[in-house]
Amino acid sequence: MTILCVRFQLPPAHEAALPGLLGLLEDFTPVVEALPPDRALADLRGAERYFGRDAVELASVIRVRALAHHGVDCMIGAGPGPMLARMALRDARPGVTRAVTEEEAADFLAEKPVAALPGVGTATARTLCEYGLDTLGRVAAAPLSTLQRLVGAKAGRELHEKASGVDRGRVVPNGISRSLATERPFSRDELNPDRHRRALLSAAGELGARLRALDKVCGALTLTVRYADRSSTTRTRTLKEPTAHSAALTRTAYEMYEALGLQRARVRAMSLRAETLGPAEQASHQLTFDPTDDKLRRIEEVADRARAKFGPHAVMPGTLAA
Amino acid sequence: MPGFTHLHTVSGFSLRYGASHPERLAERAAERGMDALALTDRDTLAGTVRFAKACAKAGVRPLFGAELAVEEYEPVRQERRRAPVRGGAFIDESTPRVTFLARDGARGWADLCRLVTTVHTAADTPLLTWAGNHGDGLTVLLGPDSDVGRALTAGRPDRAARLLVPWRERYGDALRLEAVWHGREGTGPGSLRLAARTVGFAAEQRVRPVLGNAVRYADPGQGPVADVLDAARRLVPVGAAKELDSGEAWLKDAPAMLAAAERIVEAAGFRRDTAHRLLEQTRATAAECLVDPADDLGIGTVHFPEPHLVGAGRRTAQRTLASRAAAGMLLKGYDRSAKGRLYWERMHQELDIIAHHGFASYFLTVAQVVDDVREMGVRVAARGSGAGSLVNHLLGIAHADPVEHGLLMERFLSKRRLVLPDIDIDVESARRLEVYRAIIGRFGTERVATVAMPETYRVRHAVRDVGAALSMDPADIDRIAKSFPHIRARDARAALEELPELRALAGEKDRYGRLWELVESLDALPRGVAMHPCGVLLSDASLLARTPVMPTSGEGFPMSQFDKDDVEDLGLLKLDVLGVRMQSAMAHAVAEVERATGERVDIDAIAPGDPATYQLIRSTETLGCFQIESPGQRDLVGRLQPASFHDLVVDISLFRPGPVAADMVRPFIEARHGRAPVRYPHPDLEEPLKGTYGVVVFHEQIIDIVDIMTGCGRGEADRVRRGLSDPESQGRIRFWFAQHAAARGYDAETIQRTWEIIEAFGSYGFCKAHAVAFAVPTYQSAWLKAHHPAAFYAGLLTHDPGMYPKRLLLADARRRGVPILPLDVNKSAVAHRIELVSDSGVWGLRLALSDVHGISEAEAARIADGQPYASLLDFWERARPSRPLAQRLAQVGALDAFGANRRDLQLHLTELHRGARGGGGGQLPLSGGRKTASAGLPDLSSAEKLSAELGVLSMDASRNLMDDHREFLAELGVASARRLREARHGETVLVAGAKAATQTPPIRSGKRVIFSTLDDGTGLVDLAFFDDSHDACAHTVFHSWLLLVRGTVQRRGPRSLSVVGTAAWNLAELVELRAEQGLDAVAARLAEPVPEAGEDSTGGRRIHLPTGYELHPWADLRPAGQEPSQVRKLWHQSPGSAG
């Protein structure tokens, strides 16, 4: 019962506040894993001995500090492993930390729907429910071989263990915000490819600027197109080289968009997400004899400085200004 | 100044393009001083007849034409675009369009029909190929959308000149270039520059120019409607793909067109007065197009198939008819009967009348069709007034003997009746298309075509299309569309104001901006065209010169573009071949009895007056019986207590809106049960009125009364009867009647009393010939239900003829002691079957494979052919079901025979599927030989099984779904349908059940009453909600499936009982509350305040029927909410949506 899962009650679209809050957890333990947008796992095994309090007591301290320092309330679940901590969080309320011990784990899980289990996505959950395995209790009761026939050998074994309350996971410290995202909504059903491209240009420009401000590069770009009927299409492409260069991001975004070949689709929003972020200094860059690329990068640098001085709208591509 | 003639005008019949009805265009043309107007719809002539009639009324000369998509002479290669991952591709509208006008009388019209027919022979979209692009009687307008116009738009007069050559070769002097100015910028269609280029090009090429306005709507300000139509056609939101409508494409008057002409000629570099020459050319072109609606279209003339095709050989049709009728007389033995003379006389009279009109070919044609159908082994019966003709009976068209049943020829055809007679024949619905093919095979495609039925915008479709055009949220659109009852689009806002079940929606109506206005403006515009379900045109070989024909989408039958009214006006002979599901159901039942028992039942020859049958009818358990299964009919049957075939005829005649509204029912029932004396106005009238206790029920009786009192002859009497429904002529008839009756020596009081009867009941009576034709299948179906119940239900479930959902029929079968045998892949056939239940010796009903959701005919046949199956693997390999189908079969227990529980079976199936896909061949773990091994998955719970049955079969096959709620219903103290039979009049009760049917029929009081039927497993409960309860109940009743209702018992006879509802709740919601939060939550839900009954929100508005009665404006509609037969989900559905 030494792992905490904390959900900060952030207002929507404030994931930028998460790094600061993680710092708060790092005051207690170095083993903190961020679960964007608003959750984090913390391993308090060492901290319990150091502070002389058990995890539930520490949870109260964390809540008080979050409120005092950041004005953010939080809910906390505690358990012997990350999976149980996360499951416990579902039952927690602000001020009431839900703790699950190893002994009561199986009973605690029995009544939970399968979809609640970390690692069970909508597809797996649908498969399991189709066969009447809608609660974790039923999953635990089903023969292991049957589960493996349903969802595959490895996934079946893991599922069976997790459902029986066996939690083999560890908290893996990670850097924060492994991805950056931005969205461009349309006020009505938009079919015009020019407007779509303009939205992508603006979104890619913003991502590039944000990446460069963080001194990061991204290795992959994901395009999500949302339609009027609430469905969406998602495409991901790995960049030739990790970059934060707006022109390169825009080019990749355009390529993905063209590949969709949209004609009559009623687009309501387009969003871009930069993924697999890494530090900029470790990124490689293929030099060319073509001076254009070099010029673009220098212009970008200048534009960034101008924006830093005169605000984000000081410099922008001509098509967006119109 | 003389009026301008628009040569290029489209109406709403140009689907999702034109925004005005042809009638409106004709009216506006007359108002704006035009002498002539052309109708040139896109790829169709469907509006022609309505337009011609409207023009005749408005005093405008109609010109006929069509705007056709024409193949490009020099096709431009287009690059193929990538297939979109979502949303579909743009609708391709790049084909050039050219306007063709019929110029040269009948020849022009024939050419036009041929062209339109050719256009529709193209593979996917309508397209006129160059091979078919010719016609001597046509004038051609090349406008901005033609290939020539497009070359001019592109600034390529050289290319335009080249493209003009083939046109000039084919049409020579009849070619015109059409200039259109809609005030647009640039050089595209509607721009001043293109119009000027067209005029200049015409002068250069020495082709005459005309001025047009490419009219899409009658009035200015309808541009937004055109935008919505464009959006609906292209399936995109408004303004997404192309620029908006210019708002100029209305029916402009002469001064406006002169102004346009002046601008165009000036822009083309001519003097301003050249405009008059442009207008003069337009006028001259219009003047050349001379097609007379009466002479050239053939309105008012009749064309029958050639006599040699209907068995006349070298004799005349009349001679053939006479000899066939005489043969029929001998065959049926009437000449030897006591009344032989009467029969002969009647036959000769009828033949005289037929000869008088020259309709002999018609009778022979129908007889030929009926003979062909009978030869195919399809059950066939005549319906309608045609059954009153002895000749029809002798030819074998009608079953019932008109002399015996007192049916009159005059009701059908007399020397004084000028309209085409009308014989409808009923065939088995399942084989209707086969019958059509046989008719086409007999007479050839050049003489036969089916009739079109335009589908027009009503409120729901209008909301959907306008909503999508305005880029509203699809979920909102769906919710709004589903909350409306099936009303006209133009009533949308009035309905929001007045209907209690729309109150919630009315509260948010301002959120949707222009939606309502646009919805109303789409009212009644055609949005698609379908094949009429019963009409078949029969004509001589000139059919294709008189009507444009297109293939129907599914079966590819030739279909005339005209609808059934047009066809009548055009004098085309239409035979109604109706598919009657009950005939199919009875045929199936009889076939099942023969298959299973070897006993051959000839239901056309069953003994009349079978006591068991009438006992069944009198018990009112007539679910599934033809014509007498509706709640109202069950009530009427209960009061009437029929004991003979004649009683059935009367019963069917009484249950019509007219007689019910005129309250002919009560006096009849009182007299029948001896509670009131039978009275006749005069002893002379006893003969016609005796059979119905002095109450006028049939048209035939009115004809007889008028004939007896005035001596005018029955032909004239029928004409008089028709005049009764018109208040104006009624006054004249009254005077005429009094005069003639007095002359025959009747006293004033008798005349007065007789006239009262005629006046009160005259126009509502029912044609006895119809009723006799209906009563035959009614008796037959009741006989089957009484003697072969299992086979009867098998037929009903297979062909689903009635108004009730299938699950209700199943519940009825269960109540009547027919065992329901579950679906089993080793035993079930494609259709429902009967099976001997071994231990009891009772025939049971085995459910059919065809009822499984999503099964294809081929799959069902494959499963049935491969029986029996030894194991799951055997079934999978030989029946090769699709995976979802196999899963569904497992869910409903059709695979239970293979061992293991249903979930285990599903798992095995998934693996078999995977194995088959991997090509490895699945190795099934078997235990104990052929049984499938258990995988240890939990089996479906009992509720899950029921839910699966509803989801897969739409029926609760294993037990009634209400059985699960018995405990809760007992807690509430709900009265079951069985217990309700003992309830006192006026008692307040709670009833509950699954909703079976909901209607708001027209009612005598002019109020809107919601009638609904609940099924609770023990029987049916009929509910009525009067308008004081609508505010509280209407929404719940329409939009919930399981209902709990508080009401008062109404008794009108020993077997007649209904509950008048005062409060209604969604039972599914209450059950959920009970299960999750206990009784207190239910109590809290019941305690919620219900809306107070408000004033009559229509403000007393009523529709005044010509019969003098009043109709509530929102009665007689298909109400909102999902059809109960479509319900597949067991539990609660979100309260906002109707399904």
Nearest to B90 among A231, A233, A263 (CB): A263
Q: H or E element: which one contains B801? A: none
- Residue A144, chain B, CB below 8 Å: the answer is no
Please report the pLDDT score of residue B1130 as a whole number: 46
Q: Which pairs with CB-CB distance under 8 Å and at least 24 residues apart come from B906-914? A: B906/A130, B906/A131, B907/A131, B907/A146, B907/A149, B907/A150, B907/B935, B907/B937, B908/B872, B908/B932, B908/B935, B909/B872, B909/B876, B909/B883, B910/B883, B911/A149, B912/B872, B912/B873, B912/B876, B913/B883, B913/B886
pLDDT above 90: percentage of residues in chain A = 27
Task: State mean pLDDT over B397-426.
Answer: 82
Please report the pLDDT score of residue B1131 as a whole number: 42
Cα nearest neighbour of B475 on chain A: A229
Please report the pLDDT score of residue B241 as a whole number: 62
Task: State mean pLDDT over A148-172.
Answer: 87
Q: Is B1050 helix (H, G, I), strand (E, B) or coil?
A: strand
Cα nearest neighbour of A191 on chain B: B240
DSSP string, B978-1037: HHHTTPPTT-EEEEEEEEEEEEB---TTS---EEEEEE-SS-EEEEEE-GGGHHHHHHHH
Nearest to B940 among A132, A146, A261 (CB): A132
The answer on pLDDT for B259 being more than 90 is: yes
Q: A262–B87: do the CB atoms touch at under 8 Å?
A: yes
Please report the pLDDT score of residue B22 as a whole number: 94
Task: State mean pLDDT over B549-563.
Answer: 88
Please report the pLDDT score of residue B1106 as a whole number: 53
Best to test chain A binding among B91, B471, B887 (most A CBs inside 10 Å): B471
The answer on pLDDT for B915 being more than 50 is: yes
Cα separation, A40 vs B418, in Å, equals 89
The answer on pLDDT for B1138 being more than 50 is: no
Please report the pLDDT score of residue B661 as a whole number: 62
Q: H or E element: which one contains A186? A: strand A180-190
The answer on pLDDT for B1094 being more than 70 is: no
Pick the CATH number of B961-1126 from 2.60.120.560, 2.40.50.140, 3.60.21.10, 3.40.1010.20: 2.40.50.140
Cα separation, B408 vs B419, in Å, equals 17
The answer on pLDDT for B1114 being more than 80 is: no
Q: Among A100-104, B165-169, B568-572, B1121-1125, which stretch is predicted with the lowest mean pLDDT?
A: B1121-1125
Q: Contact B148/B167 with Cβ under 8 angstroms?
A: yes
The answer on pLDDT for B1126 being more than 60 is: no
Higher pLDDT, B160 or B681: B160
Cα nearest neighbour of A134 on chain B: B938
Q: Kindly list the residues from chain B whose CB atom is less than 8 angstroms away from the CB atom of residue A133.
A: 937-938
As separate numbers, helices (DSSP H) first and strands (DSSP E) second, chain A gives 13, 9
Mean pLDDT across chain A: 87
- The answer to whether the complex's ipTM is over 0.85 is no
CA B148 remoteness from chain centre: 43
The CATH classification number of B22-75+91-288 equals 3.20.20.140
pLDDT band at B666 (very low <50, low <70, confident <90, very high): confident
Return the ∠ at Cα B644 (arms to B640 and B646), rounded to 5°: 85
Please report the pLDDT score of residue B919 as a whole number: 46
Shortest CA gap A128–chain B (Å): 10
Which positions ≥6 away from B382 have C-beta within 8 Å?
B370, B392, B397, B398, B399, B423, B424, B425, B426, B773
**pLDDT digit string (tens) for B418-448?**
677 778 888 998 898 999 999 999 998 888 9
**C-alpha atoms less than 13 angstroms from C-alpha of A292 in its C-beta half-sphere:** 3
Which positions ≥6 away from B342 have C-beta within 8 Å?
B403
Please report the pLDDT score of residue B667 as a whole number: 81
Q: Contact B575/B538 with Cβ under 8 angstroms?
A: yes
pLDDT band at B922 (very low <50, low <70, confident <90, very high): very low
Best to test chain A binding among B86, B235, B465 (most A CBs inside 10 Å): B86
The answer on pLDDT for A246 being more than 70 is: yes
Strands A180-190 and A39-43: unpaired
pLDDT band at B1096 (very low <50, low <70, confident <90, very high): low
The answer on pLDDT for B1137 being more than 50 is: no
pLDDT band at B387 (very low <50, low <70, confident <90, very high): confident
The answer on pLDDT for B652 being more than 50 is: yes
Q: Kindly list the residues from chain A whose CB atom is less than 8 angstroms away from the CB atom of residue B240.
A: 189-192
Please report the pLDDT score of residue A15 as a whole number: 57
Mean pLDDT across chain B: 85
Return the ∠ at Cα B355 (arms to B354 and B358), rounded to 5°: 85
Task: State mean pLDDT over B1073-1086.
Answer: 87
Please report the pLDDT score of residue B28 as a whole number: 94
pLDDT above 90: percentage of residues in chain B = 32
Best to test chain B binding among A124, A187, A189 (most B CBs inside 10 Å): A189
The answer on pLDDT for B1136 being more than 50 is: no
**pLDDT digit string (tens) for B846-861?**
999 998 988 999 999 9
β-pair partners for B509: none
> What is the residue extent of each domain of chain A?
3-163, 180-321
Task: State mean pLDDT over B938-943.
Answer: 83
Please report the pLDDT score of residue B278 as a whole number: 93
Q: Which pairs with CB-CB distance under 8 Å and at least 24 residues apart come from A311-315? A: A312/A209
Best to test chain B binding among A160, A264, A268 (most B CBs inside 10 Å): A264
Please report the pLDDT score of residue B299 as a whole number: 60
CA B885 remoteness from chain centre: 32
Q: How far is CA B521 from CA B217, B227, B471, B490, in A?
A: 11, 12, 18, 7
pLDDT band at B1095 (very low <50, low <70, confident <90, very high): low
Shortest CA gap A134–chain B (Å): 10
Cα separation, B1063 vs B1092, in Å, equals 11
B22-75+91-288 and B961-1126 have identical folds: no
Q: Contact B1009/B1002 with Cβ under 8 angstroms?
A: no
Task: State mean pLDDT over B328-339.
Answer: 85
Q: Contact B194/B187 with Cβ under 8 angstroms?
A: yes
Please report the pLDDT score of residue A177 as a whole number: 57
Shortest CA gap B931–chain A (Å): 18
> What is the residue extent of each domain of chain B?
22-75+91-288, 307-454+541-582, 458-524, 607-776, 804-953, 961-1126
Q: Contact B762/B702 with Cβ under 8 angstroms?
A: yes
- What the block records as the tokens of A207 is 């991502």
**pLDDT digit string (tens) for B723-744?**
877 777 888 888 888 888 888 8
Q: Kindly list the residues from chain B whose CB atom is less than 8 angstroms away from the CB atom of residue A130.
A: 906
Which positions ≥6 away from B467 have C-beta within 8 Å?
B474, B476, B477, B480, B481, B512, B515
**pLDDT digit string (tens) for A185-236?**
998 888 999 999 999 999 999 999 888 888 889 999 999 999 988 888 999 9
- Which of left, alpha, beta for B983 (phi over 0: left; psi -120 to 50: alpha)? beta
The answer on pLDDT for B337 being more than 90 is: no
Q: How many CB atoms lie within 10 A of CB B155?
A: 13
E strand segments, B739-837: 820-821, 833-837
Q: Pick from B377, B778, B362: which is nearest to B539 by CA?
A: B362
pLDDT band at B348 (very low <50, low <70, confident <90, very high): very high
Task: State mean pLDDT over B478-496.
Answer: 89
Higher pLDDT, B571 or B442: B442
Please report the pLDDT score of residue B1098 as a whole number: 64
Q: Kindly list the residues from chain A whose CB atom is less than 8 angstroms away from the CB atom of residue B234.
A: 264
User: 0.80 exceeded by the pTM?
Assistant: yes
- Residue A123, chain B, CB below 8 Å: the answer is no
Domain A180-321 in CATH 3.10.310.10? The answer is: no
Task: State mean pLDDT over B437-463.
Answer: 91
Q: B85–A230: do the CB atoms touch at under 8 Å?
A: no
Q: Among B229-233, B651-655, B912-916, which stretch is predicted with the lowest mean pLDDT?
A: B912-916
Domain spanning A3-163, CATH architecture = 2-Layer Sandwich (3.30)
The answer on pLDDT for B61 being more than 90 is: yes
Please report the pLDDT score of residue B153 as a whole number: 94
As separate numbers, helices (DSSP H) first and strands (DSSP E) second, chain B gives 46, 23
**pLDDT digit string (tens) for B576-622?**
888 888 899 999 999 999 998 888 888 888 888 899 999 999 988 88
The answer on pLDDT for B508 being more than 90 is: no
- Residue A126, chain B, CB below 8 Å: the answer is no
Task: State mean pLDDT over A98-116.
Answer: 87
